[in-house]
Structure 1
Amino acid sequence: MKRKYQQCLTTILVLVAAMPAIAAETAARQDDSMTLVYLFLATCGLIIVLQLLPVFTLVYGLIKGIFGKRQEQQKPLPVKNR
């Protein structure tokens, strides 16, 4: 029983002593996911542009209506059968 206890304690001590090396190895690893980041940012930009298209068309129509040529008022045509 004492032998098992010593083996267990030795295993725990070795793992605790090796933890900084294990953590440093995983922290030093660098994944190259910049392509995915750029795709995500492009998708976000596309969503923003598509959300702004109706605003631009509305402002264009508003400016065109304010500064555009004025048409003469047409007289209503008489309707024969109502």
Structure 2
Amino acid sequence: MLDRIPNDKVIDLRRRAAEYFQKAAWNQLLALDNYRENNLLAAERFAQLSFEDQMNAVECAELADAEADLMLELEIVEES
């Protein structure tokens, strides 16, 4: 049971990263549509939201990687 808790945490972090990447892509599309329509203020706002979502996605992905590395290190220590 204890082995599943860290796995669930990694899965949750990866899911959150995917959701942020998806939001970033959507906001980028909205930015492009607004730019095409010459609505530059809205385009800039959606571009900024896209950037923020990308940064959040990268942070979640990095946390998931760190958690997975920690789990691997703990397994190696436990096997020793």
Which TM-score band (shorter chain)? Answer: 0.3 to 0.5
Rg larger for: 1
TM-score where L is the length of structure 2: 0.36
Q: Which has the higher contact order (CA 8 A, sep 6+)?
A: 2
Bigger helix share: 2
TM-score where L is the length of structure 1: 0.35
